[in-house]
A and B are shown apart, each in its own frame.
Chain A
Amino acid sequence: MEQIITQEKSKKHNYHTLKVLFEKETADFINGKRMLLFLLLMALITVTGLYAAVSGLADALESGNSSADFLFLKLFTVSANSIPSYNSLMALMGPFIGIFMGFDAINSERTEGTLNRLVSQPLYRDHIIIGKFLAGIFITAVMVFSSGILIAAVGLISTGLIPTGAEAARLFIYLCFCVVYIGFWLALAILFSTLCQHAATSALACIAVWLFCAIFISLLAGITADALYPVGGNDMESLMNEMDNYYCAQNINRISPYYLFGEATSTLLNPSVRSVNAVTMTQLSGALVSTLSVGQSMLLVWPHLTALGALMLLAFAVSYVSFMRQEIRAR
């Protein structure tokens, strides 16, 4: 009986240390100077996105290329002139929020000499890294949702559009996607912070990965696809290769979380997108021009969400394992 009580007690104690660590990390984020940077970044994304939405919405309507349905969601996807939309800004700049949060998570503790003091406290070592990750996700979620809701609110006031239930649901799922997307970059940054000795190295490594995913992978995909399935000739073969070439490039692109996120969110925010893959004429014959319901859109992007979540968990798992195996010595 006594043993059970002490077990219960120690179980409670386990969560207690995780809670304390989580609270401390969250407080650190909020009190730190870095928070200003986050807020600035988030404000930039929000204000630019909002500006693009409000000024571009009228044009989008006038040109008449899209239906007047789901106008509310257009707030997030419409771009004006050269100003990018909220969604594309989020895809491009969102990673920075995750990277800034995590790039020095472990190695700064190491260089400050606080890590070995921390691990000598009665706590499980994994609570340290889990606490940091959860705190980062929490802060991300709060920021993403507040900025998304802010856009919705300002859009509501300035345009008088009222969101339907389906639109609200899509918006909610979209924002969840943003959190997972930034969460991936956070996990990646934590991974580099465990592997690299210096904060600067890990920041550079993260930014290198980001650059690769955002820019170079599409070049790489194009080159690889062209090499494997040459197109552009006048012969029959290149005509046959057209489809394979497209799929090959697309599949390579889909390794990149940037691409995954872009594909998934444009499907989510635009109900008229019916497929994320190429569609043949035969497949289209007899199809009615209509929009998808939320559930159907979700079905389309479910693999994307799974892949993003898996990437995030994979990055975190690797950093978790390497952190648990590391020997923590004095600085």
Chain B
Amino acid sequence: METVVIQTKGLTKRYGELTAVDHLDLTVYKGEVFGLLGPNGAGKTTTTLMLLGLTEPDEGEARINSLNCTLDSIEVKKIVGYLPDNVGFYSGMTGRENLRFTGRLGGLEGDALEEKIEKLLARVNMTEAADKKAGTYSRGMRQRLGIADVLMKDPEVIIMDEPTLGIDPEGIRELMWLIRDLAERDGKTVLLSSHQLHQVQRICDRMGIFVHGKMIACGTLEELGREIAHEGVNTLELAAYPDNMKLRDILNGTKGVTNIEKNSDVYVIHSSFDIRRSLARELAEQGYTIMHLRQAGSDLDEIYRKYFEKAGEQSGADHHTGKK
């Protein structure tokens, strides 16, 4: 049995008319990296704020290590590290001084403090820049210093809000590696929110898709993909040589195909079941060379888009009935 670290039950937050988070039930287990995915304004940040006790929920409750996030917020904040979106540091102080300040707030002093700062700076690869003023840091450096800052208090849970936003690809790669390392080597639980799917896909064990304050799907990448496939729509991307009219006829004639679109030289084929094998055989017999064949829906982009379409339809239907 895995240990539950973060648990929310019916968590709800309203801002006037707008329901930012709508009856959220979320469970995150120890040592996993959980991704909260969703577009801007889906309620991801509000959820993280409620987990830290920085915002009071209107309904429901959130618990971290069975501590109530709203009532025991000091205790919660002792074990939860929070890396906000676009983290800032005191620009007049050096990176090291910023860390020292955080460490002292956490109750560390003297040699233990300095030792820890040194260790963490090395871990996030900031030793060289540590004695420069934080005002001169680039965004990537701030983000890395932010992780060191979060680790100052040795948290059991780390919550990150859009950690990869505005960082160059190399920086993202390093950051992702660091996050994965935190979960695997240190056994920390990581909850990160993002709308950048590719990065999240690479490092998250499980993810939840967030739309309009509701979590509409939750699970591993495979689970999410399977769920969508069950909807009865298979999407295939295909490019073949020679690309002529006859190719289209063959595609149209294949059993199970419901719809064909063409994007430049790639056909997007919708079918009611998996037609990859039969199609490949058919094309080979007819003397075509398959340049590209890919089952869409197995990557997060596709899953995400599908869920969105579904959520969009639902809310559209709600509006419709509402008007009546």
CA distance in complex: A117, B86 (Å): 10
- Give chain B residues whose Cβ lies under 8 Å from the Cβ of A13: 107
Asked whether any CB of chain B lies closer than 8 Å to the CB of A123, the reply is yes
Q: Is B106 within 8 A of A114, CB to CB?
A: no
Asked whether any CB of chain A lies closer than 8 Å to the CB of B10, the reply is no
Within 47-84 of B, Cβ neighbours of A (below 8 Å) are at 49, 52, 54-55, 74-75, 77-78, 80-82, 84
Q: Is B105 within 8 A of A116, CB to CB?
A: no
- A117-B88 contact, Cβ under 8 Å, with A124-B74, A329-B49: yes
Quick one: closest B residue to A114, CB to CB? B88
For chains A and B in complex, what number of residue pairs have CB atoms within 8 angstroms?
73
Asked whether any CB of chain A lies closer than 8 Å to the CB of B308, the reply is no
Quick one: closest B residue to A24, CB to CB? B101
- A122-B88 contact, Cβ under 8 Å, with A24-B101, A327-B54: no
Q: Is B106 within 8 A of A122, CB to CB?
A: yes
| Listed stretches B89-97, B204-212, B214-222; interface member | B89-97
CB of B295, distance to nearest CB on chain A (Å): 38
Quick one: closest A residue to B75, CB to CB? A122
CA distance in complex: A81, B55 (Å): 59
- Give chain B residues whose Cβ lies under 8 Å from the Cβ of A327: 49, 54-55
**Interface residues of B toward A: which range?**
20 to 34
Asked whether any CB of chain B lies closer than 8 Å to the CB of A113, the reply is yes
CA distance in complex: A120, B107 (Å): 15
Asked whether any CB of chain A lies closer than 8 Å to the CB of B149, the reply is yes
Q: How many residues of chain A have a CB within 8 Å of chain B?
A: 26
CA distance in complex: A20, B105 (Å): 6
Quick one: closest B residue to A9, CB to CB? B107
Q: Is A32 within 8 A of B92, CB to CB?
A: yes
CB of A192, distance to nearest CB on chain B (Å): 21
Q: Is B90 within 8 A of A114, CB to CB?
A: yes
Q: Is A331 within 8 A of B88, CB to CB?
A: yes
- Give chain B residues whose Cβ lies under 8 Å from the Cβ of A124: 74
Q: Is A117 within 8 A of B54, CB to CB?
A: no
CA distance in complex: A50, B99 (Å): 45
- Give chain B residues whose Cβ lies under 8 Å from the Cβ of A234: none
Asked whether any CB of chain B lies closer than 8 Å to the CB of A168, the reply is no
CA distance in complex: A10, B74 (Å): 10
CA distance in complex: A32, B80 (Å): 32
Asked whether any CB of chain B lies closer than 8 Å to the CB of A31, the reply is yes
Can you add 7 more A-B contacts, CB < 8 Å, to A113-B88, A116-B82, A119-B54? A21-B105, A116-B54, A121-B77, A122-B105, A329-B45, A330-B45, A331-B86
23 examples of A-B residue contacts, CB within 8 angstroms: A10-B74, A16-B107, A24-B101, A112-B88, A112-B91, A113-B84, A114-B90, A117-B146, A120-B80, A120-B84, A121-B105, A122-B77, A122-B105, A122-B106, A122-B153, A123-B77, A123-B105, A327-B55, A328-B49, A329-B49, A330-B84, A330-B161, A331-B88
Q: Which 3 A-B pairs have the closest CB atoms?
A: A113-B88, A120-B82, A112-B88
